[in-house]
Amino acid sequence: MRIKRILIANRGEIAVRIMKTAKRMKIESVAVKTALEPNAMYLSYADQVYDHTSDTSEIPVFLDIEKIIRIALETGSDAVHPGYGFLAENAYFAQKCAENKIVFIGPSPDSIYKMGNKTIARRIALAGGIPMATGSEGNIGNEEEAAAVAGKIGYPVIIKAASGGGGRGMRIVRKAEEMERLFITASKEAEKAFNDPSVFIEKYIENPKHIEFQILGDTKGNIIHLGERECSIQRKHQKLLEEAPSPALDEKLREEMGRLAVQIAKAVNYYSAGTVEFLLDSDRNFYFMEMNTRIQVEHPVTEIITGIDLVEQQIRIANGETLKFGQDDIKLTGWAIECRINAEDVQAGFAPDPGKIESLSLPSDPCVRVDTGVRDGSVIVASFDSMIAKLIVRGDDRKNAIKNCKMALDKVWIKGTKTTLPFFRMLVRHPKFIEGDFTTAFIEKDLTQFYYNSEYEEMLAAWLATKLFIEENLQDDSISVDFRDGKEMSPWLLNKRINQF
Amino acid sequence: MTSKKTSIKKLYALSSEKRRYSFPLPLKHTIRIGKRDYEVKLKADEKFGTYILWKNRKYPVEIVRSRQNKYEILFNDISYTFTVETPFSLKRMKVLSTVKGKVETELIRAPMPGKILDVFAREGADVLRGEPVVILEAMKMQNEIQSPVNGKIMKVAAKTGINVMKDDVLVEIKPD
């Protein structure tokens, strides 16, 4: 049976991204309209919109297995694409889909379960002789046990959520005294985020690079890799910029890591798209970290350098098709960089800055691809992630990609919220980034300033402040010097006022 | 409302890092760099909203906050905060700052809107710099809010379970 209608169990840019490919493949898509975002952009890409605005439950519908299954059945969807986050790595959901004769566009429930549980994944990798950081045998029950295990491994160690991902439920512990407090926070955070408080402990690899391999496998047992992505530009384990390929790998290391990534995927009979994550230390030793059994946020950089549409492959594999290419057919051409433009205040430690996007202007250029789920008037709500858009830039080589990226960053105009744009403008000019000389500790250790401003920008801003002051307070060169009667007014009202000039 | 009218020849914009920019009045629409004057244009259009045109480049501008003589301006996506002072108010400010001396209390504010998950701070207790005082959950992340100073906790406004807005005061500390 071929998929004819897909329910998109997600929102934002990834919902748009999936529907674009579905449309090209002449497959219908169904999107879910929620009370939180009734005017969201992704809804306009769907062939059918399921109105779920009457549900005002605090838990998003995209996390509710029963509701998603019911919506799929009601809308006659024969498949569900979970995107990333939400139910994307929920084995029980994949199982429920199968029970209801709905195709889950992703791997088998068994693969999701095994790789989703980090302690089981560690055991599988260990059995296959995959290099790994030393760690606890299984999950850790309490803070006393944690302290004992950490003492044996040696500090620093990292506490990780067994069912985790995306940096949540994760803490680095450098001293025995910090263990109790950090163990409790990590476990609490894991319980809240993944409904599972279990955590385990690993030796913390200092200043590694984050290198991950894109895997593609079909249901016939063919598994290949599509090269690596370098995702070392992170803050609090949240990726900010990714590129493919990595400046740290040569052909030999790529071949070796890629082969082991495929081996791990084979160990769980993996099919669909997946990602095997490694840490690479300064001596070029690498360690298996985890496998993500979903499409990743940063998948576009791989698509750019391989020319393969990963969502299309996911759908074809879900249809039972055999991969049309083998490992030798995969050629990495050029270089791609992705900047995650988030509604965050770089000057306030990347604090989320949710709000309404007053206006948005994105570059259209052959070397630029923008994946976004927002448009003018869209609201970045605090209940979801803070992503506004992914700016994906291509170049012939790394140098050229950085140059194109610098140009593209100046063409992105977003008004209404603060964004990570000033951070990327700084990054593409930073000598260490340009050299490829950076690790996951780059933001915390190597940076003194998190944003870029060219000369005179502050002076121009000062000029504007002075101009506004004059408009508000000065008539005919005379001024009320007493500010006690000062007033507050909406910034947008003020903006309207300057607009009248 | 009482207001004293004075003739002003100059205005100063003071940045939060205490850099001072002075502008003679009436305000010119040019800025002098070295020996040349460059034109500054404040413009707006449908596509870009408000922007400043300077040396053939457009910079997006936004006014984030404006209160009395204090302005937070987003210029090319970077935030700058200025207080605009007249020669008179600047002088008064200088006098005040020497009289007042150091700040007595350190206010720990919420860096972002969110929910208080845990409060470690206890009124009257001593804290060390870097010690966590509150756990704030925002956008699914738990953030440890740490004390920026060594001192004594004077007041704890944060309570477990409550929602806070950005800049809400969580804890007051008297620095040592």
Q: In what order do the strands lie in the sheet with A5-8?
A: A48-51, A28-33, A5-8, A79-81, A103-104
* Interface-testing mutation among B53, B140, B166, B168, with chain A (most A C-beta atoms within 10 A): B140
Residue intervals in chain A for CATH 3.30.1490.20? 134-203
Fill in the DSSP letter of residue A445: I
CATH 3.30.470.20 boundaries in chain A: 209-446
The total of other beta-carbon atoms located within 10 Å of residue B54's CB is 18
Print pLDDT tens along chain A (501 aa): 799 999 999 999 999 999 999 999 999 999 999 999 999 999 999 999 999 999 988 889 999 999 999 999 999 999 999 999 999 999 999 999 999 999 999 999 999 999 999 889 999 999 999 999 999 888 998 999 999 999 999 999 999 998 876 678 899 999 999 999 999 999 988 888 888 899 999 999 989 999 999 999 999 999 999 999 999 999 988 999 999 999 999 999 999 999 999 999 999 999 999 999 999 999 999 999 999 999 999 999 999 999 999 999 999 999 999 999 999 999 999 999 999 999 999 998 898 899 999 989 999 999 999 999 999 999 999 889 899 999 999 999 999 999 999 999 999 999 999 999 999 999 999 999 999 999 999 998 999 899 998 889 999 999 999 999 998 887 544 444 333 333 444 444 445 455 444
Architecture of domain A209-446: 2-Layer Sandwich (3.30)
Question: According to CATH, where is 2.40.50.100 located in chain B?
Answer: 106-175
Answer yes or no: do B142 and A456 touch at CB < 8 A: no
The per-residue pLDDT for A107 is: 98
Could you read off the pLDDT of B80-128 as tens digits, one per residue?
A: 999 999 998 888 888 877 765 555 788 899 888 888 988 988 999 998 8
Neighbours of A319 (CB within 10 A): 17
The pLDDT, as a whole number, for residue A501 is 41
pLDDT confidence tier of residue B141, bands split at 50, 70 and 90: confident
Select the residue of B65, B77, B140 nearest A168 (Cβ to Cβ).
B140
Nearest-by-CA chain B residue for A426: B78
ipTM of the complex: 0.81
Kindly determine whether residue B21 and residue A236, on different chains, have CB atoms separated by under 8 Å. Answer: no
CA distance B19 to chain A (A): 10
Cβ of A479 within 8 Å of Cβ of B5? The answer is yes
pLDDT given for residue B102 in this prediction: 55
Pick among B29, B31, B47, B66 to test the A interface (most A CBs inside 10 A): B66
Tell me A36's DSSP state: S
Does residue A187 belong to the interface with chain B, where contact is any CB pair within 8 Å? no
Q: How many CA atoms lie within 13 A of A408 on its CB side?
A: 29
Residues of A annotated catalytic, as ranges: 294
> Which pLDDT score is estimated for B100?
57
CB distance B27–A467 less than 8 Å? Answer: yes
Least Cα separation, residue A341 to chain B (angstroms): 12
Q: Using a CB–CB cutoff of 8 Å, tell me whether A129 touches chain B.
A: no
> Cα separation of A315 and A272, whole Å?
8
Q: Tell how strand A351-352 and strand A368-372 pair up.
A: unpaired
pLDDT reported for residue B129: 85
How many Å lie between the alpha carbon of B28 and the closest alpha carbon of chain A?
A: 9
User: Could you tell me whether strands A209-217 and A272-280 are parallel, antiparallel, or unpaired per DSSP bridges?
Assistant: antiparallel
Interface with chain B: mutation pick from A181, A415, A497, highest number of B CBs within 10 Å: A415
What is d(CA B143, CA B111) in angstroms, rounded to the nearest whole number?
A: 10
From start to end of A111-198, where are the E strands?
157-161, 171-173
* The residue count for chain B: 176
- How far A384 CA sits from the closest chain B CA (Å)? 7
| Residues in B 76-115 with any Cβ partner in A closer than 8 A | 76-80, 82, 84, 86, 88-89, 111-114
Q: What CATH number is given for A134-203 in this structure? A: 3.30.1490.20
CA distances (Å), origin B1, targets A481, A489, B4: 12, 19, 10
Residue limits of CATH 3.40.50.20 in chain A? 5-105
- A5-105: CATH topology is Rossmann fold (3.40.50)
A5-8/A79-81 β-pairing: parallel
- Residue A386 and residue A399: Cα distance in Å, rounded? 29
Task: Please give the class, per CATH, of domain B106-175.
Answer: mainly beta
How far is the C-alpha of A77 from the C-alpha of A28, rounded, in Å? 9
* Closest residue to A465, CB basis, from B43, B84, B140: B84
Query: Would you call A463 and B3 a contact, using CB atoms and an 8 Å cutoff?
Result: no
A 424-463 residues with CB < 8 A to B: 451, 453, 456-463
First to last CA, chain A: 63
SS3 label, residue B99: helix
The pLDDT tens digits of the residues spanning B1-46 come to 444 455 788 999 999 888 999 999 899 999 988 899 999 999 988 7
pLDDT at position B144, please? 85
Structure tokens at A59: 């838990």
- Please check whether residue A114 is in contact with residue A121, taking contact to mean a CB–CB distance below 8 angstroms: yes
Statement: the pTM of the whole predicted model exceeds 0.80 = yes
Q: Residue A482: what pLDDT?
A: 37
Contact A352 B139 (CB under 8 A): yes
